[in-house]
Amino acid sequence: MKFNVFFSKALNDFVVGEMCKCGHLHRDHGSQLKKISDQKTLRLAHDGSCCVGKCACKHFRWARWVTATEFADTLPTKQEERLTATV
């Protein structure tokens, strides 16, 4: 999944991602398979369960945008570090 960065006038910053209600990034969730017919499924990247530590979140639920400032100030830039964080 590719996220398109954009500038938010309301947040006065660039938006670089999305936060789930579980408190983890959209990009840190696994894939989800959605049944579209009896014989076909569609893989939805990053809409499945959370991959961070032992987070019990079963699917991504949008909570808010994540700004460049917030990401730089509070989150590890390496996904491996975010995924091994304690919940």
User: Is a pLDDT exceeding 80 seen at residue 69?
Assistant: yes
Residue 7 in tokens? 């500038």
Q: What is the CA radius of gyration of the chain?
A: 14
**Which residue type is seen at 12?**
N
**Coil/strand/helix, residue 81:** helix
User: Is a pLDDT exceeding 80 seen at residue 1?
Assistant: no
Q: CA 77, CA 79: separation in Å to the nearest integer?
A: 6
User: Is a pLDDT exceeding 80 seen at residue 36?
Assistant: yes
pLDDT at 72: 93
Rounded to two decimals, the pTM is 0.83
Q: What is the residue extent of each domain of the chain?
A: 6-81
Residues 6 or more apart in contact with residue 17 via CB below 8 angstroms: 3, 25, 26, 27, 65, 66, 71
